[in-house]
Structure 1
Amino acid sequence: MSFQVTLKTSGKQFTVSEDETLLEAALRQGINLPYGCKNGACGSCKGKVLEGQVSHGQHSQSALSSADETAGGTLFCCAHPESDLLIEAREVQGAGDLAIRKVPCRVNTITKPSADVAILQLQLPAAERFQFLAGQYLEFLLKDGQRRAYSIANAPDQEGPLELHIRHLPGGLFTDFVFGAVSPALKEKDILRFEGPLGSFFLREDSKKPIIFVAAGTGFAPIKSIIEQMQAKKMKRPIQLYWGGRRPGDLYLNDLCQTWEKEMSNFKYIPVISDALAEDVWQGRTGFVHQAVMADHPSLKEFQVYACGAPVMVNAAREDFSSQCHLPEEEFFADSFTSAADLATN
């Protein structure tokens, strides 16, 4: 059995089978809804069911609370229809023309700028032209059928390999493989397969508003892609990058950010450290990275914000920027880096 879904704002309609989620069905039929993790952890795909009923699969309470659900709130990535639906959802413009494909690649280099971060350079076949939007991600297709998602860190127009930033999560299926915690470990010249491009985290070029980027840890990767693309296109929108980590070493490409600040007159870099030790001799900003933004910008009415990192940071930024700094909901764009642990908060 299938059901019909109508988007209130645009009037567009699509059909959903019982065995697929609303997000899967929408994307399959060329309707681009915002999304990030696709597993119920980040909240990027949250919308409302105005008429009809859905059932939710496993999801994080921080992404959709029981109170939200009672009020009609819905995570389209894990919602299955039980009737025809009228929904309220933002549509994403600009991502629909890029084909999602499965692509082989060869590991060109593996470098480790810090103890728990690896930068992979992936070489594509000579005749392969992989198109993506700055900020999007890919999913590795593992042998047991599982997938692991990582943001692309280089700009789309750059020649050469694709760049990924991977943080080691001890016990993680793929990150243990990358960091040699299991045998055999990933090595240069190994062949991998991925699917992409995926995600709705990319620059909205139709706006001229100043931009605040908020990154935590390797959430810096897709933001790096966007900034380098803006630099290549000579875009002059004012940019501020707040990059947060527990200790200074977590800002593993700090020198690059300082170089951007020298090269780009419209760019400002604000590193923020939450748990510095005395031995770090840290003299910069301290605390949570999204709170540093709020301290500098009591009003965010005239900004666009792009946030990327762990769900706890992204969700706090989404809530606090809206409720305390008056950021319009439609000007907050996010990509959450989720793991199995993030879904354990049901």
Structure 2
Amino acid sequence: MSEKLKVLNRLNIPGATYGVILLFIFFSLISNKFLSLANIFLIARSSSILLIASIGMTMVILVSQIDLSVGSVMSLSGVIAGVCLQNGLSIPVAILLGIAAGIAVGVINGIMVAVYKFDYWISTFATMGVAAGLALVFANGETIPVVDEAFGWLGNGKLFGIYVLIYITVILVAIMMFVLGKTKFGYNIYSIGGSEQTALLSGIDVVKNRMYVYMCSGLFASIAGLLLASMGNSASPIAGADYSFDAIAAVIIGGTSFDGGKGGLLGTVMGTLMLRILTSGLNLMGISAIWQKAIIGVAIVAILVGDALNEKRKKKNDMRRTYAYEN
């Protein structure tokens, strides 16, 4: 390995960073519209919504779980806020009720998965269906117009030429990077994902921490849903339909392992940017949304295979070092 590669490895730069750079260069050469200010802002805003939803997903995957309800929670929270505003309730009340709905779904997920040990795929698939159904019921199956200018400012307003939405995203990501990297809760998350048995033996309350993780997932999904409704000036009961898949993709592409205990938010940031740059570039090339999903799916499979092969190689190297040391 060259000295430059060794330095890059020590810097812990997520692999998706190189993907972001390569895609940016590629699409810049393919289309002169890619570097337009309008397209850059479009990428930044769409990345912000997905990244907020992916914060909670990162935490869930770090503890070797999954949350399929993220997209439905986004829809439900947006619809609840839209209904509240439509009926004359204040913005703070609408936001709080939307967030409360997300946390409530997170609590239910946590109880089923952490407390009662139900399968997390089935459990979160069930709450996904419930949240999606409630969103349709509350919205009467229709998109709710959100005409409140103050609420719309959160998703469309600017400060110093930059969207408020981007400021909110940066603040939330910075806070959670600190939480994951510098607090006991963050340490517990990585410990549980690394080895649940070891975490239990070291005195970590696995049930409680998994509960908190699912609550965080519901919290950030609800915030993303509220901002999505704000940005679009409307609350659709199916607005978050694709976000569960996209959030999982962003986290996995960003290098967080499905096995848990490895990865983090910096990788998710890069995974999100990579996804949205890819989507933007493919749109400019006229490639349909169906093929875009297929391309992203292939990318995820390739990353999972690469991750598995890398882990296998590391285990072989560890065994060789152990054998060499003993002899």
Do the structures match in fold with TM over 0.5? no
* Higher share of residues assigned strand: 1
By percentage of residues, which structure has more helix?
2
- Which of structures 1 and 2 has the larger relative contact order (alpha carbons within 8 angstroms, sep 6+)? 2
TM bucket, shorter chain: under 0.3
TM-score, normalising length from structure 2? 0.23
